[in-house]
Amino acid sequence: MKLVIQRVNHAEVKVEGETVGKIGKGLLVFIGVGREDDKPAADKYLKKLLGLRIFEDEAGKTNLSLADVGGELLLVSQFTLYANCKKGNRPNFIEAGAPDQAERLYEYMIGEAKKSVPVVEHGIFGADMKISLENDGPFTIILDEAILS
């Protein structure tokens, strides 16, 4: 699994010109599911994501989590996080999870996040989505196997 996490002031996802997910202050998270991923892996990533202390406290230090600031969450599926560009100029996506597996884990993560985050919005799996955001910082973190091993 790979997550690209952006701390945002606001973010929105549109499909065919219609807003399907929109948040204020919080985290925009792009989720890539790999071939070997399963629910325990998703749980591990979600726990790490929700525990990250990447919001500033009153002293300007990144000491606060999403819950500490009452932040919102926008989850967007993005298989292209598994692009392999080692050979040639055309990426391959062999390491990405199969669409049915990836969709199940994506939906699972949305459901699990809703258990602890009051506002969880999301994109539509497999759709052509347009994302707009205002990155706060900018502050972007990548979580992948190397970080959680």
Which of 6, 30, 55, 79 is the catalytic position?
Answer: 79
Which of 30, 78, 125, 139 is the catalytic position?
Answer: 78
Omega cis (within 30) before 138: yes
Query: Residue 52: what residue type?
Result: L
Q: How far apart are the first and last CA of the chain?
A: 12
Annotated active-site residue 80? The verdict is yes
**CA 132 and chain centroid, separation:** 14
Q: Using N-to-C axis directions, what is the helix angle for 99-114 and 39-51, rounded to 10°?
A: 40
Annotated active-site residue 79? The verdict is yes
Residue with tokens 């985290």, as numbered in its chain: 27
Question: What are the Cα distances from residue 22, in Å, to 41, 68, 118?
Answer: 26, 20, 13
Annotated active-site residue 125? The verdict is no
In sign, the C-alpha dihedral spanning 42, 8, 114, 67 is positive
Which of 80, 93, 101, 125 is the catalytic position?
Answer: 80
Catalytic residues, by residue number, are 78-80
